[in-house]
Structure 1
Amino acid sequence: MSFTIAKGMVAQTAGKHYPAPITAVKTIEAAARLGREEALVLENKSFVPLAHTNEARALVGIFLNDQYVKAKAKKLTKDVETPKHAAVLGAGIMGGGIAYQSAWKGVPVVMKDISDKSLTLGMTEAAKLLNKQLERGKIDRSEAGRSD
């Protein structure tokens, strides 16, 4: 029963273009009834063909490129001074998210918008993001107050 649910959830999340997640669930299901050695053989038979797919090559390429870009960005920003102030023109949901990120990094930020409704929406979004961090235990109340 639980493997049926897991397969459904994985298929829905991963989609039809990524065969590895559903293969992993099927392999775990089959290996659960086997001894350690037989399970390792089954895992190997399932993994090797997946490792040679175009999807696997593409995902490895994406990962390596991501690592390269992060390293390059880190070098380029090493000597860049942190902004002392920030302003977000156009509040709304996206503006609220940008303002939240700036405030979270310790940069005082001002949101401006011609519409009070959009400004309220931006403030609500920033508060929502902050509360999400609190709920997940990523920050405590004292850290949350730092971003006001």
Structure 2
Amino acid sequence: MDEWQYLWDHFKFNAEQRLKGFNFFVLLSIFADGGVFTAIDRHFNPVLLVLLGSFIIILALVFWLVDLRSQHLLRLTIPGLKQLEKEFPEHSRLFANDSGCHGKIVRYSTAFRVLIFCQFIFGAGVVVYGATQWAC
């Protein structure tokens, strides 16, 4: 296996894992959020809301940590790939051309963080709402 193949395989595997992990987060979030709305609609015990909200918070935190690790693993390959790209014509240097073009906002990482943060806030709101209903 040559260096190019090694770096590309590492990058590709971790990029795919990151997207699969995010898809799994979205799927779990949909089910958890649906459980919250069902519990509210059917006037279930507020303890269930506290538990569901806590689950949503934990889910957001765990997937945030997993995403941080995935980002780190992806970043490990980029300097090597940029170095190897120097042999290509300038228009074919994808990693070099992409770095710095979109700033820090237009990125997958930003979108992932916003959604994970919103889910965390939603979970915290559910916990507070459930706790206030439980106290009544």
Structure number with bigger Rg? 1
TM-score normalised by structure 1 residue count: 0.28
**Going by fraction, where is helix more abundant, 1 or 2?**
2
Higher relative contact order (CA 8 A, sep 6+): 2
